Amino acid sequence: MSRTKVAVIGSGNIGSDLMIKLLRLSPSLEIAAMVGIDPESDGLARAARLGVPATAEGVPGLIRMPAFDEIELVLDATSAGAHRGNAAALRPHGKRMIDLTPAAIGPYVVPTVNLDAHLAEPNVNMVTCGGQATIPIVAAVAAVTPVFYAEIVASIASRSAGPGTRANIDEFTETTRLAIERVGGAARGKAIIILNPAEPPMIMRDTVLCLVGEADQAAITESVRTAVTAVQAYVPGYRLKQKVQFTRVAVDEPVGTLAEVPPGEPLMRVSVFLEVEGAAHYLPSYAGNLDIMTSAALRVAERMAERQLEVTR
């Protein structure tokens, strides 16, 4: 069976991990180009050793590569600002893009929640690592009961945060917040990221807090567990740290500052604690924040390729 050819833009940590995953894991995708702007980057050097066609001349160099016309999907692992320019340059050539930056030109996609609704889009956005880890949980709670407010805290090892992540902290929080609402289904969302300098580096930890009304606790717990299992299908290191917690909210607690809630309705806080251990394809296992992004992007690329084959049959 012929494989769909893809290109990866960005020869840093995320792009390099994507390249390794494409080479090792995907039976349906073939990496036909690795694109960077730093000829001394480890990602481009590794591409050369692995026999992957590469260019250090950015998107203009990609367009000049012999295999460019055969490439159908482009995964962009650069930065929010760079993606806007890359998307503009590739749009006239009809290349479909999977955006791993917070640029959010296209719709937000979290594979277990809304992938099938966006398979035909020319540009989809993978939200953020925090979004990929937590939005399935918010959506799982929202599938059982309305979520008035959802807050997520993503704590990652400082060592796993490269220059792209550090430059896009503001975009990270805003993009994740919007996706919590638009994809997760919360009436109002909030996102916080923590770069933890602990040594040895800690693996990614995520906390999800949802404010809900009276609801079936057993149904919420089962929905969350089902969501975790679904994510584990492509991120084996994704797991619950403990049982789902339920806490009654005191009548006089000022939750009205967080979200609009029905007056007089008893409220409950649902707390879910997660950790994400990476597969260590390119980076150490503590970099689960990178692993969940690249694993989710790979899942999206494979489903897009499958859909295209179905359409053309």
The catalytic site residues sit at 129
Three-state secondary structure call for residue 123:
strand
Other Cβ atoms less than 10 A from the Cβ of 218: the count is 10
Strand partners, 153: 192, 207
Strand bridging mode 204-212 / 268-276: antiparallel
Nearest by Cα to 139 from 165, 162, 161, 108: 108
| Residue showing tokens 């009654």 | 248
CA angle 160, 290, 193 (to 5 degrees): 65
Pairwise CA distance, residues 61 & 35, whole Å? 8
> How many whole angstroms from its chain centre is CA 43?
20
Q: What is the C-alpha end-to-end distance of the chain, expressed in Å?
A: 13
> How many whole angstroms from its chain centre is CA 127?
5
